[in-house]
Amino acid sequence: MVGEEVIKDYLGCTYSTDIHNYDLVSPAGVKIEVKTKKTAMQVPPKSHFECSVCNYNAKQRCDVYLFVRVSTKCNKAWLCGYRTKPEFMNESRYFKKGDTDSSNNYKVHASCWNMNISELKSINELKI
């Protein structure tokens, strides 16, 4: 919920009435699903860090996935970026549960779609 609150305030969004499919609605009517990762880091995430959408969430009816990292150590949040759902699903890398991501040797605990932060668009494009 922290990531959602940060984005709500930053973009001036309202809460969704369809919370199973998206979290927020921008002033322009964009349906935003916020994906937040917790981190103990106290510095901004590196551009090669990955953002993920679990496979069981891939059927959500949102317009964009927007990614946030929240530090549990220093009360900071980093707005990593966004991609439209079609862009994300077409350009991300799919990993099945049990696969190992060769870019970081992480063993995937749940099937998911991943994209590097460097591949995301600036969320300022969603600001009106």
5-24 per-position pLDDT tens digit: 999 999 999 999 998 999 99
Residue type, 73: K
Rounded to whole angstroms, the Cα distance separating 81 from 93 reads 17
**In the CATH scheme, what is the code of domain 2-126?**
3.40.1350
Nearest to 117 by CA among 28, 42, 56, 51: 51
Q: Where are the domains of the chain?
A: 2-126
- When the pLDDT of each residue in the chain is averaged and rounded to a whole number, the result is 93
Label residue 106 left, alpha or beta by phi (over 0 means left) and psi (-120 to 50 means alpha): beta
Tokens standing for residue 109: 């605990």
Residue 103 pLDDT level (bands cut at 50, 70, 90): confident
pTM value is 0.93
- Predicted local confidence at residue 104, as pLDDT: 87
Check pLDDT > 80 for residue 82: yes
Cα 61 to chain center, whole Å? Answer: 15
